[in-house]
Chain A
Amino acid sequence: DQQVKQNSPSLSVQEGRISILNCDYTNSMFDYFLWYKKYPAEGPTFLISISSIKDKNEDGRFTVFLNKSAKHLSLHIVPSQPGDSAVYFCAASAYDKIIFGKGTRLHILP
C-alpha cells in the first residue's frame, strides 16, 4: 500500500537549470510533507517541509509546492548545482508516523 509515490526513479538535469521532483500521496490525513536528501553511504537528511495548510514554502534555492486537491507536491531546485546530485525522498507525516516514498535519483549534468 503505497501512500507516498514517487513515480520517477531518476531525473537528469543540466547544471544551472531547474530540477523538478514530483510526489503524489493518497492519505488525506497527512498534515506535513517533507523532502529528504540522501547521498550514497549516508543517512537521509532533512531538506524542506510544508504544512498541509500552506501551498508553498521556500528556502534558498529550494521551493516545495503543495496541491492538496490533487494530492501532489513538488520540489523545485533552482539553479541546480553539482552537489544536488543525490536521491530525494518525499515523505508525509500523520500522527506519529512518517511515510516515505521510494526516492528519485537526481543527476546534475555538467
Chain B
Amino acid sequence: DTAVSQTPKYLVTQMGNDKSIKCEQNLGHDTMYWYKQDSKKFLKIMFSYNNKELIINETVPNRFSPKSPDKAHLNLHINSLELGDSAVYFCASSQSSVGNTGELFFGEGSRLTVL
C-alpha cells in the first residue's frame, strides 16, 4: 500500500494548456509539500500545507495553484503551461511541520513535459 501516491506519473502536454497533478498520503501526516526537480537536478520546495492551510509559498508563479481539500490530499493545478515548467514534481508529507527532524516521505514523482 503506497504511502504517498501521486498521479499521473507521466504527463505530456502542449504549451498553454492547464493540467493537474494529484497527491494523496495515507500516513496520517499533518503536512504535505510539492517539490520541483528541474533539469539542473535541484529539488526545490514550491508549497507546503499544514492541516489544509498554506504555510510555505516559495515565490512560485501564480499559474501554480495548490489545493488541499483535506489533510490527506494536496493537488497541484498549473495554468497556461510554459516550456520551463517541464520538470519532475514530487509530492511529500511529514508528521508535522518540518523543523524537528525533517523526515519527509516522497511520492514517486510526476514527470511533466511541456511541448
Contacts and interface: CB of A to CB of B under 8 A. Distances in A.
A42 B92 CA distance: 12
B90 A49 contact: no
A93 B103 CA distance: 10
A93 B100 CA distance: 8
Nearest to B40: A102
A97 B98 contact: yes
Contacts of A42: 108-109
A45 to B, nearest CB: 7
Given A43-B106, A98-B102, A98-B104, 7 more contacts: A36-B104, A42-B108, A44-B43, A93-B98, A95-B98, A100-B44, A103-B43
B42 A102 contact: yes
Interface string A72-110: 000000000000000001010111111111110000000
Given A32-B100, A96-B98, A46 B45 contact: no
Contact of B102 (A93, A101, A102): A93
A41 interface: yes
Interface of A is mostly: strand
Contacts of A31: 99
Given A43-B4, A93-B98, A100 B42 contact: yes
Contacts of A97: 45, 56, 98
A45 B35 CA distance: 14
A102 B97 contact: no
B66 interface: no
Given A43-B4, A96-B55, A102-B42, A91 B102 contact: yes
A64 interface: no
A65 to B, nearest CB: 17
A23 interface: no
Interface string A49-60: 100000000000
